[in-house]
């Protein structure tokens, strides 16, 4: 879930701030009481300035449930997730997602978004999920832990009840057609991110290249993210597309259980 506020500088704010502070400390006149007072005032001003910039960059509706602009539907390539987990913890017993029935694209989440940035954890503590709600979503999101996490971080920002939010997840998933080449991938392949984008655009009338992005780790395709209006129609989202995978080619491991 599957994002940061708008970038106002070419350098991270923290770097600019600390560079200013460090340069200030090099002034040789620091031993003088007046110089020390001037230094303290300069540092205080720099922090105030930075906080003001951050506040400006944040959306004024920050973390208010139901007040957002659009959704991102994040579809995770399950075989990549399973391979990554195995790489990190080779002795770990596979969970149900990786050891049970084979999964291809699964729902990672449905994320409320601002035009710049996104809300998160809008209700703390979050309203609890009942067992039936979790069980009903396992065909799309094959991990109870993921379902709880997505509700806490993103679902609480939708302004919907748990039941209504996961109905929205199901509706959003139904809107996006998975290209036939990726429905039952029984062998690993190598693709370019552009090929994956093109396949989704062709399979989904009305979906533009500017309405989606392909994500990757250091070598594998990890997710496809599709932007949707609140009525679940496709919509462009340059902020999301800008964060797309930059690798020339990525691996798509075969569906598990093969």
Average pLDDT, integer, range 206-231: 97
Cα(82)–Cα(112) distance, integer angstroms: 26
Residue showing tokens 């979503």: 137
The reply to whether 82 and 169 lie within a common domain is yes
- Active-site entry in 149, 154, 195, 198: 154
Q: Do 147 and 131 contact (CB within 8 A), yes or no?
A: no
The reply to whether 197 and 168 lie within a common domain is yes
The reply to whether 97 and 169 lie within a common domain is yes
The reply to whether 41 and 155 lie within a common domain is no
- Mean pLDDT is highest, among 45-49, 95-99, 148-152, for 148-152
Cα(226)–Cα(158) distance, integer angstroms: 17
- The 10 Å Cβ neighbour count of residue 159 is 15
Q: What is the pLDDT of residue 209?
A: 95
187: which 2 tokens?
């062998």
Question: Total structural domains in the chain?
Answer: 2
Domain-embedded: residue 85:
yes
pLDDT of residue 171 exceeding 90: yes
The reply to whether 53 and 129 lie within a common domain is no
Helix axes 33-57 and 13-25, enclosed angle (nearest 10): 170
Domain-embedded: residue 219:
yes
The reply to whether 39 belongs to the active site is: no
The reply to whether 142 and 17 lie within a common domain is no
Q: Which of 241, 255, 167, 231 is nearest to 201 (CA)?
A: 241
pLDDT band at 242 (very low <50, low <70, confident <90, very high): confident
The reply to whether 198 and 134 lie within a common domain is yes
Domain-embedded: residue 258:
no
Pairing of strands 250-252, 70-77: unpaired
Domain limits for position 35: 13-57
The reply to whether 140 and 203 lie within a common domain is yes
Cα(166)–Cα(107) distance, integer angstroms: 11
Domain-embedded: residue 28:
yes
Domain-embedded: residue 161:
yes
Domain-embedded: residue 6:
no
Q: What is the pLDDT of residue 18?
A: 34
Domain-embedded: residue 181:
yes
The reply to whether 60 belongs to the active site is: no
Query: Tell me, what CATH number does 233's domain have?
Result: 3.90.730.10
- Active-site entry in 108, 149, 195, 239: 108
The reply to whether 113 and 172 lie within a common domain is yes
Cα(194)–Cα(70) distance, integer angstroms: 24
The reply to whether 112 and 181 lie within a common domain is yes
pLDDT of residue 51 exceeding 60: no
Q: Please, how many CA atoms are within 13 Å of residue 128, restricted to the half-sphere of its CB?
A: 3
The reply to whether 130 and 246 lie within a common domain is yes
- Active-site entry in 9, 11, 39, 150: 150
Q: What is the pLDDT of residue 243?
A: 83
Domain-embedded: residue 182:
yes
Q: Do 230 and 71 contact (CB within 8 A), yes or no?
A: yes
The reply to whether 195 belongs to the active site is: no
Would you say the pTM of this structure is higher than 0.85? no
- The 10 Å Cβ neighbour count of residue 199 is 17
The reply to whether 32 and 130 lie within a common domain is no
208-224 per-residue burial string, b: 16 or more CB within 10 A, e: under 16: eeebbbbbbbeebbbbb
């Amino acid at each position: 879930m599957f994002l940061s506020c708008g970038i106002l500088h070419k350098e991270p704010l923290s770097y600019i701030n600390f560079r200013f502070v460090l340069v200030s400390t090099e002034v040789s006149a620091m031993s003088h009481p007046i110089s020390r007072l001037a230094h303290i005032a300069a540092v205080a001003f720099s922090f105030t300035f930075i906080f003001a910039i951050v506040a400006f960059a944040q959306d004024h509706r920050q973390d208010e449930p139901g007040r957002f602009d659009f959704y991102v539907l994040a579809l995770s390539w399950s075989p990549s997730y399973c391979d990554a987990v195995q790489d990190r913890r080779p002795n770990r017993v596979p969970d149900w997602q990786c050891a049970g029935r084979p999964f291809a694209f699964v729902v990672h989440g449905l994320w409320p978004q601002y035009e710049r940035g996104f809300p998160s954890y809008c209700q703390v503590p979050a309203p609890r999920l009942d067992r039936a709600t979790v069980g009903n979503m396992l065909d799309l999101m094959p991990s109870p832990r993921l379902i709880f996490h997505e509700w806490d971080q993103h679902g609480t920002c939708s302004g919907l009840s748990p039941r209504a939010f996961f109905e929205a997840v199901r509706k959003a998933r139904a809107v996006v057609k998975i290209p036939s080449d990726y429905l039952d991938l029984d062998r690993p392949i190598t693709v370019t991110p552009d090929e994956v984008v093109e396949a989704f655009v062709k399979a989904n009338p009305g979906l533009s290249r500017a309405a989606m992005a392909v994500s990757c780790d250091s070598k594998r395709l990890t997710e496809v993210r599709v932007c949707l209006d609140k009525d679940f129609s496709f919509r462009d989202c340059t902020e999301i597309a800008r964060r797309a995978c930059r690798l020339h080619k990525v691996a798509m491991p075969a569906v598990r259980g093969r």
